[in-house]
């Protein structure tokens, strides 16, 4: 993950407008991360707002010598998403219709249809995993974070993240087998 320049964080001490730079640096990634969980624009916007307002309110608690700022921010986003899952109980209703888009292949429509079906079934398998596993996949493939960064966000060791990733792939395989895909 590309971290923001520490000078910008330091500048916040004197200049509150520096938060604008912090926001610009992270907003797209945080929004995308949250959208991977909510799969709807309205909730993604609400939760993104909530994350940045919390970050601003709690800015005084961030320690430059501690975790990188991005990990700190992702941790706020992670907790926000966990609370959202808990409060709304929507995990099971993340819909299959919310399948991420794909670039269409105009020259080979049959292949696109087949790929689309495979993608749909994989998406069903992902949605059926527990929140920790979905979270790991979102942070790894949606955000491109390292295992160390994911560990800091999810409050686990790097070894625990590797083991969780292994279990997640096994879980996906099992779901795909149930659907006759493997």
Chain residues binding other proteins by CB under 8 A are 11-17, 19-20, 23-24, 27-28, 31-32, 35-36, 41, 44-45, 48-49, 52-53, 56-57, 59-61, 100-102, 118-119, 122-123, 126, 137-138, 140-142, 144-147, 161-163, 165-166, 169-170, 172-173, 176, 182
Q: Which two tokens stand for residue 70?
A: 């991005």
* Residue 47 to residue 31: CA distance in whole angstroms: 8
* Residue 7 to residue 130: CA distance in whole angstroms: 39
Of the candidates 51, 19, 17, which has an alpha carbon nearest to the alpha carbon of residue 32? 51
Residue written as token pair 């970050």: 55
* Residue 44 to residue 41: CA distance in whole angstroms: 5
- What is the torsional sign of CA 20, 136, 79, 9? negative
Specify the residue, 60 or 89, whose C-beta has the smaller distance to other proteins.
60
Specify the residue, 85 or 129, whose C-beta has the smaller distance to other proteins.
129
Specify the residue, 85 or 127, whose C-beta has the smaller distance to other proteins.
127
CB of 159 to other proteins, least distance (A): 8
CB of 92 to other proteins, least distance (A): 19
CB of 158 to other proteins, least distance (A): 9
Contact indicator for 176, 117 with CB cutoff of 8 Å: no
Q: Which two tokens stand for residue 13?
A: 């001490």
Contact indicator for 168, 129 with CB cutoff of 8 Å: yes
Tally of residues, the chain: 182
Specify the residue, 80 or 147, whose C-beta has the smaller distance to other proteins.
147
CB of 94 to other proteins, least distance (A): 13
Specify the residue, 42 or 89, whose C-beta has the smaller distance to other proteins.
42
CB of 59 to other proteins, least distance (A): 6
CB of 48 to other proteins, least distance (A): 7
Specify the residue, 37 or 85, whose C-beta has the smaller distance to other proteins.
37
């Amino acid at each position: 993950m590309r971290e923001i320049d520490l000078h910008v964080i330091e500048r916040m001490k004197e200049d509150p407008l520096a938060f604008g730079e912090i926001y610009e640096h992270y907003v797209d990634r945080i929004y995308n991360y949250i959208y991977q969980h909510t799969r709807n624009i309205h909730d993604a916007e609400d939760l993104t707002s909530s994350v940045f307002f919390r970050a601003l309110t709690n800015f005084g608690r961030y320690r430059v010598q501690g975790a990188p700022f991005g990990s700190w921010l992702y941790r706020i986003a992670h907790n926000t998403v966990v609370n959202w899952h808990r409060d709304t109980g929507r995990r099971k209703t993340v819909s299959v219709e919310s399948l991420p888009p794909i670039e269409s292949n105009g020259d080979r429509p049959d292949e696109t249809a087949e790929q689309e079906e495979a993608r749909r079934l994989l998406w069903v398998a992902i949605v059926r995993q527990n929140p920790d596993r979905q979270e790991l996949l979102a942070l790894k493939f949606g955000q491109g974070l390292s295992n160390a960064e994911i560990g800091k966000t999810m409050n686990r060791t790097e070894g625990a993240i590797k083991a969780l990733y292994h279990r997640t792939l096994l879980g996906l395989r099992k779901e795909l087998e149930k659907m006759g895909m493997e």
